[in-house]
Amino acid sequence: MVKKIQQDDNHMLLVKNGMLNKEFPSDYRQIRYFTLMIAQKAPPGIKEVNLLEQQISELIKNAVKHGNKSDPNKRIKVWYSFSSLNARIIIEDEGKGFKRIDDWNSFNSHRQKCLLDEDFEKLAEYVAYRTSESDDNDGGNALFAATEYWDEGVVFNRKGNTVAVGKRFPKKRPGIEIA
CA–CA dist 46, 24 (Å, integer): 25
Shortest gap between Cβ of 21 and other proteins (angstroms)? 24
User: Which residue's CB is nearer to other proteins, number 82 or number 144?
Assistant: 144
CA–CA dist 126, 165 (Å, integer): 24
Determine which residue in the list 18, 44, 45, 50 makes contact with other proteins, applying CB under 8 A. 50
Classified as helix, coil or strand, 149 is: helix
User: Which residue's CB is nearer to other proteins, number 57 or number 161?
Assistant: 57
Binding map of other proteins across residues 90-129, x = CB under 8 A, - = no contact? -------------------------x--x-x--xx--xx-
Sites for other proteins among residues 52-71 (CB under 8 A):
54, 57-58, 61
DSSP-H helix ranges across 9-48: 31-39
CA atoms within 13 A on the CB side of 169: 20
Contact status: 141 vs other proteins (CB under 8 A): yes
Beta-bridged to residue 78, according to DSSP, are 22, 91
Sites for other proteins among residues 7-46 (CB under 8 A):
29, 31-32
Shortest gap between Cβ of 141 and other proteins (angstroms)? 5
| Burial profile 119-138: b = 16 or more Cβ within 10 angstroms, e = fewer | eeeebeebeebeeeeeeeeb
CA–CA dist 106, 124 (Å, integer): 16
* Total residues in contact with other proteins, by rule CB under 8 A: 28
- Where along the sequence are the contacts to other proteins (CB under 8 A)? 29, 31-32, 48, 50-51, 54, 57-58, 61, 115, 118, 120, 123-124, 127-128, 136-142, 144-145, 148-149
